[in-house]
Amino acid sequence: MGMQHIRLATEKEIEAIRDRSDLMPGHTSVLALDNDKGGADLAVVRNCYELNPVIYAEGTGDLRRARFLWPWKKDFWELASTASIHK
């Protein structure tokens, strides 16, 4: 079996775990990693990124502040794509 990638779970996979998961439409995603027995490992991810607080060192300029915060402003799927998660 070749290298596997994390992917979005199918609707059927999501329904199979609905009664034992904390699924919140619009606030969670379900990721899947197929195994070699025809099943998949599933993970419910809460779509919540929070920086609380951000504390800058004395003298940190605006450009450095913006550069530090920029990755946190990106869309979830842009972040997920860097972790080999496939839509």
Q: pLDDT tens across 9-44, in order?
A: 999 999 999 999 989 988 899 999 998 888 999 999
Whether residue 78 lies inside any domain: the answer is yes
Whether residue 58 lies inside any domain: the answer is yes
Report the pLDDT averaged over residues 66-83. 64
Report the pLDDT averaged over residues 57-67. 91
Per DSSP, which regions of the chain are E strands? 6-8, 28-34, 40-46, 85-86
- Is the pLDDT at 48 greater than 80? The verdict is no
Whether residue 60 lies inside any domain: the answer is yes
Whether residue 45 lies inside any domain: the answer is yes
Domain that holds residue 73: 6-86
- Is the pLDDT at 82 greater than 70? The verdict is no
Whether residue 1 lies inside any domain: the answer is no
Whether residue 49 lies inside any domain: the answer is yes
pLDDT band at 76 (very low <50, low <70, confident <90, very high): low
Q: Is 85 helix (H, G, I), strand (E, B) or coil?
A: strand
> Which residue is listed with tokens 């794509």?
81
How many domains, in total, are found in the chain? Answer: 1
CB within 8 A of 15, min separation 6: which ones?
Answer: none
Q: Is 38 helix (H, G, I), strand (E, B) or coil?
A: coil
Q: According to the model, what pLDDT value does residue 77 have? A: 55
